[in-house]
Structure 1
């Protein structure tokens, strides 16, 4: 078969039913081949940032590797933010970009560039395909590497004339790798965990990626363990409505250490080294705690702190093995475990009631208090909704009021590249049309990814966008305030305001053909979000909010 036919065959065998792309001249041989490939849909994006973000959301929703087609050096450069996000979030993508025709590449033609060099720092691996017979082999390798722990994006540079060659290439058979089994060392981990008197669990994103949420719940309940989400978690790794879930760890080592210090044993499952954001001295893990760590990536275990029981293997398989061993409690421990679980549940219930009461008390007029706004969103969510969150200031508040139970109900990106939320929400809904998708975005994040709204409108993808519009880069102001002790500069924030002119996202939505409303009442916001379950077209809700919390906490 010809090279381009081999490409399509590999895509089909790898379960690819959509190509996310923005085309140019160097991708024309591929586009021409897609004309007769009726089983593979080309999803056009009008900017590479939204293209990669859509593929990221789609891969997470389907559990399959997504395929992306970018255009030469410039298109690849536009997509780099999304590739950095996918690398940090360990999303499996295979990404190609068309290279200029090799027959005049030595002349440095327009659009050409060092694609592999450009992609190298943002992806797991990069291949420069120079021979037609290498294409099928490298495609197979790319899909395998994208899924292999630690998962991530893999890039291939494809010269346009190579895809157009009328030459016969061999297609190697697809190899299905076995699911990773349980780690060795389970006995040592069980001994530590079973004897713990104040156990804690940190639920990392590897748990959600491996479909192991239920398995971790079983382990937590067997231990009566206080359970946290990892800092800035990308997904739902433990039900946030569960009585043992006490919240998300902050991305600061000193604060993590303070929260974990009361626990004699800490079980860290599928967590990439805690991902601190702001610097603070010392390790995240308290020296007084004994650590059990589980990951499917051997490089992760013991990477930043000492570990007493190291578990390297399939996360779900290992959690199942731990659960089987821990469920029959050692003699005399059932009463102690139940009492510990009740104490955590009582504290959690009190904390949630206090937060909810504080939010409801802030249900005032416009602009809304940010806690009141996110509480209204959470209150209105349809039961099976997927929340895509990229609201830098309000996002942490949203996590305190979300009560989710179903896996894959929360989507975020650890990469930190702004603008992904609009496209990622489209990809999430395309990947699972049975679930309503609500994207909660900051105004700054929305500005970085407006092109994703085009896809929502063009493809009639019924995403409900909630834009929390505070007219400023609030998180930077808060951070700057924490660094400054000079009161005379209070209120002076060069370059951090978006109020002149004030951004009107209803007009931005109208430009793309999306219905939009501005909501200034918390009850109305909850009611509008609730309708997401029944929409068949996208909606944008512009919500004016204050910067500082009006209810007391900043």
Structure 2
């Protein structure tokens, strides 16, 4: 269809609902859909077949479609789009939708539904999709009238990307997509009519600036909201940190907003965060939370979280402010606007003298909570931290734009600790929901969005098997994804908790029947590689990075390695569990916090 033919339509043009849907997706700038066909959505797939504007990526499971769309959205700043059929197609997507909701990822999921006259009759592949997905989405819709189709889809995109981003589902009965539907003109949505315009509260900004001027032990606590606000927000954060001289820490989802190698960056805070980040959080007198939500993996014991600090919370979602941790100053609005306002109010004020505070931070840094000792004898077993660090160092040598996805578990934490990011949107992981099986389809989404980039899934063998079928998607679209498996034969984080908290009773955490990942890779038309000892590691990584196709690298690592530091459940930030080589005295832990193994 030519552009003239596309644009000739009015509300009276003879289009069916599926064609109207694709016209609206085109209007919204959609270039890629991740999906899986089925009876209820065949009219949409037929319309897709008859156009060439929107690309469709055929995944092998609907959960994977959503994870791929999440990574596409997070790595590009666009809204990800998913297409699934009714019944099991929609229910298979629920995990991904919940994942996107928890991590504030903008998605529109288009789900097929049985014809409207059959809804409620237990028809074949019928499910109450809007009911099932209501708690897993920011909003959802059931389109019952052809005339409502175009505007509903437009509004879905607006809801997905506005305010705090999130997933939106549009349920499409088959008679709506088969029958004639008008291509109505865009109308002012309810969202725009009700939206509040304006920047952050001037008084709140003034109080925050005054607190910045008088603080002796300050800290910026940053989160995924800065990533979601766009690259400009990350740049503003860097400028504000430079002007104030404040240290910066980040949640798991905020990594990359501030450069990891920068001296002002203390690393990630929380359960497996750095000693310096956690101790600074505990000991600061001013905590400014920017685009973060005080997740339990960050706060630990809430009543002991940053106990002596004046707290400022800036967030686009007012419902998150004072929800978990009471604060002294509320700043509602987009964190980008908040950072602009803080910079303007700060002006040319000289940075305060924080030398005493930085000296204290330096003493905590000297503990080297992420430190480890790798035996470099060629036959020595590979420690997983060393594998991730070498992957980072050798990937950096390539000079390529690199995106890293992860599964969930120990390897995820080691990746966050040892793979450094100096730009936003390059770190793709499941934070709030902690979804095993996220990383492989996420790598698909990132590679589709950035075909010339280096995309690496840092994985565990257990999580990899959750969505292993997506190797078929990688093969079909010739995506040069690199899957870097830290294979310790265990569900590592489960095993770690069982060791430390359940008397080393390893109940159902050991995988006794793993596949040969090299042969499995070859079965899916990829290249398989394996490193079993330190002497083989660098060669495998170099060959993997140089290969122009998909690679599965099976990196056999120490089975009993634990991830440190660790704040046990119910403990405060100064009660970290440190590794056997770390010095709790140097860290300044309290008596009850000296928990060594």
Q: Tell me the TM-score normalized by structure 2.
A: 0.84
- When structure 1 is superposed on structure 2, of 130-139 and 403-412 the one drifting more is 403-412
Alpha-carbon RMSD across the aligned residues, in angstroms, is 2.8
Q: Which residue of 2 aligns with 1:369?
A: 383
- Matches of 1:15 and 1:359 in 2, distance apart? 50
Alignment of 1:378-397 (within 5 A): 378-382=392-396, 383=399, 384-397=401-414
- Matches of 2:132 and 2:120 in 1, distance apart? 18
- When structure 1 is superposed on structure 2, of 288-297 and 268-277 the one drifting more is 268-277
| 1:328 equivalent in alignment to 2:348 | yes
Secondary structure of residue in 2 paired with 1:394: helix
Instruction: Give the length in aligned residue pairs.
Output: 539
Picking from 222, 227, 233, the partner of 1:203 is 222
Picking from 413, 437, 440, the partner of 2:430 is 413
Query: 1:351: Cα distance to partner?
Result: 5.9
Secondary structure of residue in 2 paired with 1:117: helix
Query: 1:506: Cα distance to partner?
Result: 1.6
Task: Write the deviation string for residues 216-266 of structure 1: whole angstroms up to 9, x where unpaired.
Answer: 122222222222112x3264222111111112112399x987542311101
Q: Which residue of 1 aligns with 2:292?
A: 271
Alignment of 1:470-489 (within 5 A): 470-484=488-502
Query: 1:153: Cα distance to partner?
Result: 0.6
Q: Which residue of 2 aligns with 1:401?
A: 418
Secondary structure of residue in 2 paired with 1:276: helix
Alignment of 1:254-269 (within 5 A): 259-269=280-290
Q: Which residue of 2 aligns with 1:226?
A: 247
Alignment of 1:124-203 (within 5 A): 124-173=138-187, 182-184=199-201, 185-203=204-222
Q: Call closer, same or farther: CA 1:262–1:362 in 2, change over 3 Å.
A: farther
- Matches of 1:323 and 1:522 in 2, distance apart? 48
Task: Write the deviation string for residues 167-187 of structure 1: whole angstroms up to 9, x where unpaired.
Answer: 435232477979976411211
| 1:5 equivalent in alignment to 2:16 | no
Query: 1:190: Cα distance to partner?
Result: 0.6
- Structure 2 gap ranges (5+): 1-12, 563-578, 582-596
- When structure 1 is superposed on structure 2, of 312-321 and 420-429 the one drifting more is 312-321
- Matches of 1:394 and 1:217 in 2, distance apart? 28
Query: 1:147: Cα distance to partner?
Result: 0.9
Picking from 308, 316, 323, the partner of 2:336 is 316
Alignment of 1:498-537 (within 5 A): 498=511, 500-522=512-534, 524-530=536-542, 534-537=546-549
Task: Write the deviation string for residues 146-194 of structure 1: whole angstroms up to 9, x where unpaired.
Answer: 1122211101110112111024352324779799764112111111112
Picking from 432, 453, 461, the partner of 1:435 is 453
| 1:457 equivalent in alignment to 2:448 | no
Q: Which residue of 1 aligns with 2:4?
A: none
Q: Which residue of 2 aligns with 1:241?
A: 261
Q: Quick check: 1:359–1:371 contact (8 Å CA) kept in 2? A: no
Q: Call closer, same or farther: CA 1:280–1:174 in 2, change over 3 Å.
A: closer
Task: Write the deviation string for residues 382-411 of structure 1: whole angstroms up to 9, x where unpaired.
Answer: 343111122411222232222321222211
Q: Quick check: 2:69–2:107 contact (8 Å CA) kept in 1? A: yes
Structure 1 segments of 4+ aligned residues over 6 angstroms from their partners:
174-180
Secondary structure of residue in 2 paired with 1:261: helix
Q: Tell me the TM-score normalized by structure 1.
A: 0.90
- Matches of 1:283 and 1:168 in 2, distance apart? 56
Q: Call closer, same or farther: CA 1:70–1:32 in 2, change over 3 Å.
A: same
- Matches of 1:22 and 1:363 in 2, distance apart? 48
Q: Which residue of 1 aligns with 2:317?
A: 297
Q: Which residue of 2 aligns with 1:251?
A: 271
Q: Quick check: 2:382–2:558 contact (8 Å CA) kept in 1? A: yes
- Matches of 2:188 and 2:450 in 1, distance apart? 26
Secondary structure of residue in 1 paired with 2:52: coil
